Amino acid sequence: MAATSGKLRPPFRLLLLLLAAAVARSVDGVELTLLTGAREKGAVCLDGSPPGYHLQRGFGSGEHSWFIHLQGGAWCNTIEDCSKRKMSAYGSSKFMRAVEFNGILSNDQQLNSDFYNWNRVFIRYCDGASFSGDGEAQDQDGSTLHFRGLRIWEAVINELMGKGLATAKQAILSGCSAGGLAALLHCNDFYARFSKEVSAKCLPDAGFFLDIEDLSGERHMWSVFNGTVHLQNVTQVLSKDCLAKKDPTECFFPAELVKSITAPTLILNSAYDSWQMDPFLDSHGPVAKLTFEIVVPHKSKNKFVDDIEVVKDKKDWGLFIDSCFTHCQTPFDISWNSQASPVLGNKTVAEAIGDWYFERSYEVKEIDCEYPCNSTCSSQLPRFYIGLDPDYHPSLNIYAGLFDEAAAADHLSPFRDRPPSPPPTSYVFCPPRAAETGEMPILPRRRYAEPLLLLLLAAVARSTAAAPDVVELILLTGAQEKGAVCLDGSPPGYHLQRGFGSGEHSWLIYLEGGAWCDTIESCSNRKTTELGSSKLMEAQEFEGILSNNQTVNSDFYNWNKVVIRYCDGASFSGNAEAQDQDGSTLHFRGLRIWQAVLDELMEKGLASAKQALLSGCSAGGLATLLHCNDFHARFPKEVSAKCLPDAGIFLDIEDLSGKRLMWSVFNGTVQLQNVSEVLPKDCLAKKDRTECFLATELVKSITAPTLIVNSAYDSWQIRDTLAPVGSYPGRSWLNCTNDIGNCNSTQMEVLNGFRKKFLDGVKVVKDKKDWGLFIDSCFMHCQTKYSISWSSQFSPVLGNMTIAKAVGDWYFERSKTVKEIDCEPPTHHTRAAHDMATSSKLRSPVLPRRRLAEPFLLLLLLLLLAAVARPTAAADVVELTLLAGAQEKGAVCLDGSPPGYHLQRGFGSGEHSWLVFLEGGAWCNSIESCSRRKMGVYGSSKFMKAAEFNGILSNDQQLNSDFYNWNKVAIRYCDGASFSGDAEAQDKDGSTLHFRGLRIWEAVVDELMGKGLATAKQAILSGCSAGGLAALLHCNDFHARFPKEVSAKCLPDAGFFLDVEDLSGERHMWSVFNGTVHLQNVREVLSKDCLTKKDPTECFFPAELVKSITAPTLILNSAYDSWQMDPFLDSHGPVAKLTFGIAVPHKSKNKFVDDVEIVKDKKDWGLFIDSCFTHCQTPFNISWSSQASPVLGSKTVAEAVGDWYFERSYEVKEIDCEYPCNPTCSSQLPT
């Protein structure tokens, strides 16, 4: 297929913005604070637990400003509803976790310029009546249901008053959905708590619920509110004037509430509120949705406008009523203030609210025109609301049903334990405009088909290849003795992935970036992060130029690849120390880190390199320039040693206010950290040290071959050094710096001036032999380390070359010269400028060969659905529990730290049922591999964190109907021998390696027996991968711990490892197991019958283990297990993979079927052996129970396991046909 190029259409731009929003900003989780003395105050959740809130303190000018946000999440209007609700985070604080603050709660100044530094509070919703009820009732089980929303409101606000709210100078009460209604209910009370000089106002978001008839003629919203009002005794918060004339239920509606509110209030709502249209315009399901035209939503909008008519004459009030199909707009970054935010009166949601609150505008009362007039709406009405197109393909009905359900669930509350994704924006197709057809304007049908597919492709681009390798951290040996330490004095670290095949003697060294610290204060702050301390560093994924995927990274995939972590704050160049504010020492030893790590790598093989490349991004790109000559000088002349700085050319420019910000940062860094030894002597003889630190000076003295990869419109420099917030009046540049497609011609002239300055700075390169340039016009920063920009359909293209191809052609001298400089974006049309600046050339995606397009599209849709179509609550994050008395029991991880597990208590009918899940993660079979392993999460609990429970561990009844309310335990894996070894050995550094997996198993299970496992009535032992093997190893022991009447069974997932030869004839799996068994003394868990006849290694294989297991067991596995085929069918890398036919995987499958033959005759046993190219299926929602779950015998994985365990079927023994016969497999063999 020929490649095409073209501009990005608006829907595609939005989708890319959504994708960017998902990855572009890290958001802090704000911990939960439980109300003090809740029970004494009678202020409790439905289940009687104390309510909670999340408080993030303000700073600077916002120290005395407070923003209170009330969580939403519908209502409960019957005993049955409230009983269900109390078993979730919306009825009990037992299920609440930390939350991320986004949108109006964000502390990001660029995103939330008016409120970013305020004190921000998020009050959790656990009463079911918009914080307004005051009563109680008997639950079905005899316990008490506490309807104390009003007391929660009063008690939490009182506690906050004591924490500083009482001295506020500015205050806003807000909330979304049911919390938006609560903001209306409590607005007057909130306002009355402050003196007149305090600017206290209210901001209800999506809280304006309408009393309208649905399509069947029922008043659904009335019914919900009526039940809530009377069940929970909601009268005290209602207007006395209203109650004197009307029913309490009518007084609960916003149309009445606004009449009595005296505090200044801005109503933010969509006139086509998605939550109210679904299900309240049709409370009986989707059938009627297919029958009505756009006139019905318009009637809803007209009712809305009528109800807020009273507001138009209220002084100090505001309106922002858009026509977007959405619900809740303040708590999401994308709708609050982004390119996808709705715009009315030339203002985004954030701008309108800021102008209203701070009275920068005379009036903010905006009501949008009728749908679909507003082109800035990112959420459109679904086409299934207005009748199906006659040519609409029935095979795509999945769009309607599943996205509809996901949207309704997602919108229930904008804050869960982790924020949901924003509302889906492109689940509709668009017809021609009315002007083109002469027909009545109905809703879009086809407009989003192409961009949806492209986004889906981007989201699952790695589905046909292995995921990026996660490479563990290695700490520098003897760091303290060498004085080569991070800011806090901890040893620096790096990640090393060994090369193979033709790349065995080739090395890529990559220097991490992350800005600089130029003052004692900034360096002190930095040392408490991973950019200043190795204590906080974790394993890293290798992508882009670091990827081992030959398709993504064809030139460097099999090289030795090293990422050196950045923890000094001066681009690996300082050499000094200073006293911190607390009296401790700040170590500025970047230069020593560079030298010591390079020296250690030289000993590990870098010294014998035949090819070498030094690279880095951002501050690491600058470091690449600083150390390029030294790197090159370490090798003989015959070695091809070159440098590749990415986004490392920082300019000394004035910002819009005339300040030289970059100079200021560099000057402080150079002086504070004593940066001089790495600077060019020629430059230092003539110029200031700070000037010599600039890349434009460094390039003049570099003699090694170098290719500069950079954007001439570097997004970081434009946002932070050319046009930072505060350098221009108001927000005149904010939209431009967010997206240069919004820049006007004057602004584009400034940006083009930046580009000219940039090109002037690198013009010396044009005449340098062996040098290269790849200077694109994309609005981005760092391009080599991301697969999507390095080599994909979205990679910038210059001279018909992606970045990957250009770098490869330059390094291997396949082209005479690679010196590409992109053109300027046109200034006469800002959208064209955006398209060129964000995309360069976008080529058409090509579907995989030998695949049918329709099934592939369906798969992509299913994968996206899995990402966004989560039910009403995100996966629970379960905290780590460390084993008590681990050292005394000798039950420790490889490094001697105590092992850990995650326990989520069961409830209801599952209170006495237990699921124990053993984590997997391969093995370590040598001193060297175990030594590396102990420095990561698979060898030390020091690196372990809380874990999400998904799949079979999920507490979501819809997803995990059989086991959702069981006690669920995930035991962490930190021994390297499937919980089976019992020995120790001396590590290379003289410390002890503890091989105590068997003791960990015994001690943790003993502790769990004391916590309730001993009284279990039902129990399952499961595990995945190495944990699946462990489930087989310990199955008999687990079963023997319970009386006969207890149903104790085993479920090994992806634990059936085969003893097969790889393509080179080696028995790779045997080699790994043999090393593990003998190093870690794995004998006690092995079958005695087997040991009398065979070698311990053979007895460690599942083919032997299953012969001796007496407990009922279901073996869940793929006959084409992806982990075993890669790398064990080809242990020497991906090259040979391109040569073998389907016959090889079929042989592996036949071996698998032979090994499980014995199971077919075992009573009470089960088999679920599919033909999907996958590994581990129980712990993931998508494979456990979803539209993309494999199906055998008309059963998903979850259904098969449930039927087997509860004996709902006579037998569950399913073995799939040969690949690729099963169309339900979402994971296929790579083509």
Q: Are 986 and 913 in contact (CB under 8 A)?
A: no
CATH number of 27-388: 3.40.50
What is the mean predicted confidence (pLDDT) over 1205-1213? Answer: 90
Instruction: Please tell me the predicted confidence (pLDDT) of residue 1154.
Output: 87
Instruction: Compute CA distances 555 → 269, 466, 704, 805, whole Å.
Output: 53, 17, 20, 8
Least confident of 775-779, 842-846, 959-963, 1182-1186: 842-846
Written as six digits, the tokens of 896 are: 């001697």
C-beta of residue 204 within 8 angstroms of C-beta of residue 105: no
Q: Does 655 score more than 90 pLDDT?
A: yes
Report which secondary-structure segment, H or E, holds 494: strand 493-497
For the chain, the structural domain boundaries read: 27-388, 471-479+509-839, 875-1215
Per-residue pLDDT, 223: 93
**Residue 549: closest CA among 472, 802, 541:** 541
Which is higher by pLDDT, 1142 or 526? 526
What distance, in Å, lies between the first and last C-alpha atoms of the chain?
Answer: 17
pLDDT one-digit tens code per residue, 870-898: 433 457 889 999 999 999 999 999 999 99
Secondary structure of residue 807 in the 3-state scheme = helix
Predicted confidence at residue 27, as pLDDT, reads 57
Examine the pLDDT at 758 and tell me if it is beyond 90.
yes
Task: Detail the DSSP E strand segments found in 1081-1187.
Answer: 1114-1118, 1166-1170
pLDDT recorded at residue 410: 29
- CATH number 3.40.50.1820 is the correct assignment for the domain at 875-1215: yes
pLDDT for the residue 294? 52
- Cα 1089 from Cα 482, distance rounded (Å): 55
Q: CA 696, CA 663: separation in Å to the nearest integer?
A: 13
Q: What is the 3-state secondary structure (H, E, C) of 139-161?
A: CCCCCEEEECHHHHHHHHHHHHH
Q: Is the CB of residue 1120 less than 8 Å from the CB of residue 1190? A: no
pLDDT at position 867: 46
Strand order of the β-sheet with 819-821 is 474-475, 493-497, 560-564, 506-511, 611-617, 640-646, 707-711, 772-776, 819-821
Region 417-441 average pLDDT: 28
pLDDT tens per residue across span 1138-1186: 334 455 667 777 888 888 888 888 889 999 999 888 899 999 998 999 8
Determine the Cα angle at 785 with ends 784 and 788, to 5°.
80
The kind and range of the H/E element at 352 are: helix 349-357
Sign of CA dihedral 74, 76, 77, 80: positive
Rounded to the nearest 10°, the torsion over CA 833, 837, 840, 844 is -80
| Cβ pair 1197, 1190 in contact under 8 A | yes
Among 427-431, 835-839, 1170-1174, the range scoring the smallest mean pLDDT is 427-431
Residue bearing the bigger pLDDT, 1070 or 730: 1070
User: Which residues have CB under 8 Å from 1033's CB, separation 6+?
Assistant: 978, 979, 980, 1085, 1086, 1105
604-645 pLDDT per residue, tens = 999 999 999 999 999 999 999 999 999 999 999 999 999 999
Q: Please give the positions annotated as active site.
A: 618, 714, 781
Which residue, 729, 733, 763, is CA-closest to 750?
Answer: 733
pLDDT at 4 over 70: no
Q: How many CB atoms lie within 10 A of CB 685?
A: 8
Is pTM beyond 0.75? Reply is no
Tell me the pLDDT tens digit for each residue of 149-179.
999 999 999 999 999 999 999 999 999 999 9
**Would the pLDDT of 393 be above 80?**
no
Q: Are 745 and 833 spatial neighbours (Cβ–Cβ below 8 Å)?
A: no
Residues 6+ apart with CB under 8 A from 511: 564, 566, 572, 614, 615, 616, 617, 620, 621, 623, 624, 627
Highest mean pLDDT among 24-28, 745-749, 1155-1159: 745-749
Question: What's the CATH code, domain 471-479+509-839?
Answer: 3.40.50
Burial class (CB in 10 A: 0-12, 13-18, 19+), 670: buried
Q: How would residue 460 be classed by pLDDT, with cut points 50, 70 and 90?
A: very low
- What are the strands, taking DSSP E only, across 370-481? 470-471, 474-475
* CA-closest candidate to residue 74, choices 54, 55, 88: 88
Question: Whose CA is closest to 899, among 912, 914, 910, 889?
Answer: 889
Percentage with pLDDT > 70 across the chain = 83
Are 586 and 566 a contacting pair, CB within 8 Å? no
CA nearest neighbour of 758 among 694, 685, 804, 831: 694
Residue 105 DSSP symbol = G
Distance CA 760, CA 776 (A): 15
Rounded CA separation 1072/248 (Å): 72
Structure letter (DSSP) for residue 136: E
pLDDT bracket for residue 304 (50, 70, 90): confident
Nearest partner of 752 among 806, 804, 695, 712, judged by Cα? 712
Say whether pLDDT at 445 is over 50.
Answer: no
Q: How far is the C-alpha of 644 from the C-alpha of 511, rounded, in Å?
A: 11
Confidence of residue 463 (pLDDT cuts 50, 70, 90): very low
- Select from 155, 101, 149 the least CA-distant residue to 125: 149
pLDDT band at 850 (very low <50, low <70, confident <90, very high): very low
Task: Tell me whether strands 52-56 and 33-34 are parallel, antiparallel or unpaired.
Answer: antiparallel
Q: How many residues would you count in the chain? A: 1231
Confidence of residue 992 (pLDDT cuts 50, 70, 90): very high
Residues contacting residue 287 through CB under 8 Å, at least 6 positions apart: none
Distances 284 to 84, 215, 218 between C-alpha atoms, Å: 21, 9, 10
Peptide bond into 729 cis (omega under 30): no
Give the residue carrying structure tokens 């035949």.
Answer: 610
pLDDT mean over 312-325: 89
pLDDT reading at 64 higher than 80: yes
- Whether the CB-CB separation of 616 and 645 falls below 8 Å is answered with yes
Q: Report how far residue 377's alpha carbon sits from residue 273's, in angstroms, rounded to the nearest whole number.
A: 12
Q: What is the pLDDT of residues 69-84, one digit of tens each?
A: 999 999 999 999 999 8
pLDDT at 939 over 50: yes
Pairwise CA distance, residues 722 & 714, whole Å: 10
Supply the pLDDT for residue 1125.
75
State CA 263 to chain mean position distance: 39
More confident residue, 820 or 1146: 820
Determine the Cα–Cα distance for residues 834 and 1036; give it in Å rounded to an integer: 64
Cα dihedral across residues 589, 594, 595, 597: positive or negative: positive
Quick check: 523 pLDDT over 60? yes
Residue 9 has pLDDT above 80, yes or no: no
| Tens-place pLDDT, residues 660-687 | 999 999 999 999 999 999 999 999 999 9
Lowest-pLDDT range of 24-28, 31-35, 476-480: 24-28
Residue range 175-185, pLDDT digits in tens: 999 999 999 99
> pLDDT per residue over 1039-1098, tens digit each?
999 999 999 999 999 999 998 887 778 888 999 999 999 999 999 999 999 999 999 999
pLDDT tens string 235-281: 999 999 999 999 999 999 999 999 999 999 999 999 888 888 765 44
| Tokens found for residue 1120 | 């084409």
Q: Facing residues of 709 across strands?
A: 646, 774
Q: What are phi and psi of 855, to 5 degrees?
A: -60, -35
What angle in degrees, to the nearest 10, is found between the helix axes of 398-411 and 853-868? 10
At 1042, give phi and psi (nearest 5°). -120, 150
Cα gap 626→633, rounded to integer Å: 13
Give the up-direction half-sphere exposure of residue 1089: CA atoms within 13 A in the CB hemisphere: 6
Q: What is d(CA 987, CA 929) in angstroms, rounded to the nearest whole number?
A: 10
> pLDDT at residue 969 above 80?
yes
Per-residue confidence band for 436, with pLDDT thresholds at 50, 70 and 90: very low
Tokens for 1040?
Answer: 């023997």
> How far apart, in whole angstroms, are the C-alpha atoms of residue 532 and residue 492?
9
Q: Give dist(CA 542, CA 784) in Å, integer.
A: 11
Of 781, 776, 787, 751, the closest CA to residue 837 belongs to 776
Average pLDDT over the chain, rounded to whole? Answer: 83
> Phi and psi dihedrals of 980, rounded to 5?
-135, -10
